Structure 1
Amino acid sequence: MPKLTKTVVDKAEQRDRQYTVWCSDLKGFGVFVLPSGTRTYFVDYRNANNVRRRMKLGRHGTVTAEQARTLAIQALAEVAKGNDPLEDRNSVRKAISVKELCELYTAELEAGRILGKGGRPKKASTKITDLGRITRHIIPLLGSKRVTHVTKADVTAMMKDIMAGKTRATEKTKKLRGKSIVRGGLGAASRTVGLLGGIFSYARDELGIIEINPAHGVRKPKDVVRKRRLNEDEYRTLGRILAKAAEDERYTRTVDMIRLIAMSGCRRGEIIEAKKTEIDTMGSAFRFEDTKEGQSVRPMGLPIVEYFDERNMDGDSPYVFPGERNPDGPFGSFPRHWEKIFADTELESVTAHVLRHSFASIANDLGFTEITIAALLGHASGSITSRYIHTLDAALVMAADTVSGYIQALLDGAELSHTHYALDRRSRKAALARFLAGAGEAENADMALAA
């Protein structure tokens, strides 16, 4: 058994099972190593009743080996006096309020130790949303209660208060003349209860304060399903609005971005923050490094491929749409430009999410299956996220071509005579003919066209 030092702990190898490295210099002081590689310092002792206790001192990296050693010495000194340091710690923890628990959770969140989807640390945008719900809903309504005293009825009462708008407020933000409007409602109530459940799980699993999560089993309201989509007339209206906006060169970049969102079904942030390395026109694919669903490879429709082929992608900025004042960052004027472009128009209420939902709806109109649409949108259930996949299924690329081309035609004012464009017999024959011609089967292609 070596003396526990930073070097010794760093060199402790991962194994299939948890194991312990004891310190030769201080009896009872050790570190256990998990299969994940996490290393946690602890001190073992027997209390006055001769009951063996193990008290965690902190994770390696959060505390140093020397800091953990000092904590172990202090704990053993308390044991020598007849005290039980673990019991004392638990008593203090059990007395903390929901506000204090939220502060502990927030510190872990900021340090990247709270995991979200797929076992990954929560994204920056999710952190901001979580912090907003904590400060605007949870702490005002439950912050003063002791964690151990919170019941399911308390959580339900909080939820109903948020639904009723009790936490409604308008706050100033750091942006110039910026403000944040907190409305509450069904969606906010449901998601805040979900977040509170995660905070209480942290209190139970990490801190050992509670045994039962009071947020579990609370009946949450169904969120309002956003059904807004553009019909074909509205797509043509959108095209006219964008064409007019593009006459002002200040908005040309934003107009391009809006058209890309409409024709790709991408999220607003994915287009705003798109990097040049994520655009693969040769493979007809977006290769997003970090989205809501993690890595995501999605088919790129031909109109979008042609747009990027024609776009000047030179320059030192890593972004496709770099900032005007800070080229090292993404274009930051999109939200403000969006408001000005759509102000006082028939589509003033349209959002980027409506364009994404409309893309999916058009794909459904054209006869594509739910799993194909999920892959086009990059949903977790259908997205191709493996870093080992380099080429996309030709059928997905063809689907992207069809939906993007259809939406592009509508934006350009076309009057299309049929709905199930992808399943139109003449279109299918023409596509087959082009495929055969491309494969060098010209004679078969002519026969297919004649048929």
Structure 2
Amino acid sequence: MPKLTKSVVDKSPTRESQYTIWCSELKGFGAFIMPSGTRTYFVDYRNANNVRRRMKLGRHGAVTAEQARTLAIQALAEVAKGNDPLENRNSARKSIAVKELCELYIKELEQGRILGKGGRPKKTSTKSTDLGRINRHIIPLIGKMLVTRLTKADVTTMMKDIMAGKTRQSEKTGKLRGRSIVRGGHGVANRTVGLLGGILSYARDELGIIEINPAHGVRKPKDSVRTRRLNEDEYRALGRILENAALDDRYTRTTELIRMLALTGCRRSEVIEIRWSEIDSAGSAFRLDDTKEGQSVRPIGLPVLEYFDERRSDGAEDISPYAFPGRNDDKAFGSFPRHWEKIFKGTELEDVTAHVLRHSFASMANDLGFTEITIAALLGHASGSITSRYVHTLDSALIMAADTVSGYIQALIEGAELSFTHYALDRSSRKAALARFLAPRPDSAPTVAPNEERLAA
């Protein structure tokens, strides 16, 4: 082999099994290539007892070939003095506390080397949540404990303390009128134990500090199942609340956002942060670049499509890259949580959240007879969703499903009394069907299915 350089390591192909490449100029210095493509530098030596040792020096990319070479030379110099650098490193690592381990993990997290769903680096929002759980729950409760002495009982005690609200607090943030409210409870405890398990897996697999992860096998509290959904009367109430709120110019944009959440089933951040470039009018879809599931395509119904078409015709796309810009046009709308609270406070829907609207959309789709896999596609779930990858066009059945659900919900918000029905697929029929849905009618008048005349013809 030639001298071990960045170019040599980069060009080394992956194989079905791990293999090693060696440096021709520095004996004992090498790198192993994993089937996954991970490349890690190491130094190989024999200690004073003639025991062969292999010490990792760092992943290719995290350290350069020259940095790894320097570390290898330093390690071999220690060996020449009769020392065992790997043993010394392990001894030092075994004395670190959970807080120090968390700091190492956070450094890896910020550099994008901690992977989340689908093998992708964790999203900014996920990293922020992880940092909050580390700094507000894990470190205050077990930060001083040595990692090597941490037991399953310690993890269980931490979990119960979080459940009991021992780490609950409310503190001011640097933002104007900002406040961070830290709550305990079963859900927070469950997720914090899961995060601690990931941190301890990093300590085991990457640092070699422990051999067994004490967070594995801990009996975590079951998350409360969120079953809250809007019924038809509550959708009508939602319409009245939004109509009243829109009379105040300050809340006009927020009411439009809430309506889009109700008609799409999207997550709050997906609608607030959507860009015009992600709204495919011709394909009747949102083509989201970055969601919880990665890239995602969502079929959207005609009420949603025509709302954005109208906004485009008014020149909104020329003002900001965001469909819902904030005070600064180059940023997304930022007052949503505060506005939401004021709009719903004191109403019959005060307990409703953005997630309730998402759950209600799915429940309505189920009421209308759509299958689980169709509903998963409408919501952008990775499992069972045919839109989990960045496809070019959508099946017309999915667009019909989006029309049906969003049209039905739109009609309820407008105060209509309806019965379950289905929609045609072509755009003119879709318009006619929705026009029939949204046409004003006396409360006592019977509802006619939008496609009844078409089927009769």
On whether the aligned pair clears a TM of 0.5, the verdict is yes
Q: Secondary structure at the match of 2:206?
A: helix
C-alpha offsets along residues 303-343 of structure 1, whole Å, 9 cap, x if unaligned? 11111111124316322122222x22212122222222223
Select 1:407's aligned residue among 400, 406, 409: 409
TM-score by length of 2: 0.89
Q: Secondary structure at the match of 1:348?
A: coil
Select 2:349's aligned residue among 347, 357, 365: 347
Cα separation, 2, equivalents of 1:80 and 1:47? 9
The one-letter amino acid paired with 2:322 is Y
Equivalent residue number for residue 214 of structure 2: 214
Q: Secondary structure at the match of 1:315?
A: helix
User: In 2 relative to 1, CA 123–448 (structure 1 residues): closer, same or farther, beyond 3 Å?
Assistant: closer
CA contact (8 A) 1:98 1:139 kept: yes
User: In 2 relative to 1, CA 317–158 (structure 1 residues): closer, same or farther, beyond 3 Å?
Assistant: same
Equivalent residue number for residue 183 of structure 1: 183
Select 1:372's aligned residue among 355, 368, 374: 374
| Number of equivalent positions | 434
Equivalent residue number for residue 441 of structure 1: none
The one-letter amino acid paired with 1:392 is L
Q: Give 1:27-426 correspondences, 5 Å limit.
A: 27-312=27-312, 313-315=316-318, 317-325=320-328, 327-385=329-387, 387=389, 389-416=391-418, 418=419, 420-422=420-422
CA contact (8 A) 1:4 1:23 kept: yes
Deviation at 1:232, TM superposition (A): 1.3
CA contact (8 A) 2:374 2:385 kept: no
Cα separation, 1, equivalents of 2:396 and 2:239? 29
Cα separation, 1, equivalents of 2:454 and 2:275? 42
C-alpha offsets along residues 5-60 of structure 1, whole Å, 9 cap, x if unaligned? 34443444444543333222221112223344333221110111211111111122
Deviation at 1:192, TM superposition (A): 0.8
Q: Secondary structure at the match of 2:317?
A: coil
Cα separation, 2, equivalents of 1:144 and 1:124? 28
Cα separation, 2, equivalents of 1:240 and 1:91? 67
Deviation at 1:194, TM superposition (A): 0.8
Deviation at 1:387, TM superposition (A): 4.3
CA contact (8 A) 1:23 1:30 kept: yes
Q: Secondary structure at the match of 1:311?
A: helix
Deviation at 1:250, TM superposition (A): 2.5
Aligned-CA RMSD value? 2.3
CA contact (8 A) 1:261 1:268 kept: yes
Cα separation, 1, equivalents of 2:370 and 2:122? 32
CA contact (8 A) 1:160 1:189 kept: yes
Q: Where does structure 1 lack aligned partners over 5 or more consecutive residues?
A: 438-444
C-alpha offsets along residues 123-146 of structure 1, whole Å, 9 cap, x if unaligned? 111111111111111111111111
CA contact (8 A) 1:298 1:384 kept: no
The one-letter amino acid paired with 2:375 is I
Deviation at 1:383, TM superposition (A): 2.6
Equivalent residue number for residue 442 of structure 1: none
CA contact (8 A) 1:294 1:385 kept: no
Greater mean alpha carbon deviation, residues 7-16 or residues 118-127? 7-16
Greater mean alpha carbon deviation, residues 183-192 or residues 57-66? 57-66
C-alpha offsets along residues 258-298 of structure 1, whole Å, 9 cap, x if unaligned? 10000110001000111112111211111111111111112
Cα separation, 2, equivalents of 1:267 and 1:322? 17
The percentage of counterpart residues that share the same residue type is 77
The one-letter amino acid paired with 1:289 is D
Cα separation, 2, equivalents of 1:434 and 1:240? 29
Cα separation, 1, equivalents of 2:262 and 2:342? 18
CA contact (8 A) 2:45 2:76 kept: yes
Q: Where does structure 2 lack aligned partners over 5 or more consecutive residues?
A: 433-450
Greater mean alpha carbon deviation, residues 153-162 or residues 308-317? 308-317
Cα separation, 2, equivalents of 1:74 and 1:223? 50
Q: Secondary structure at the match of 1:41?
A: strand
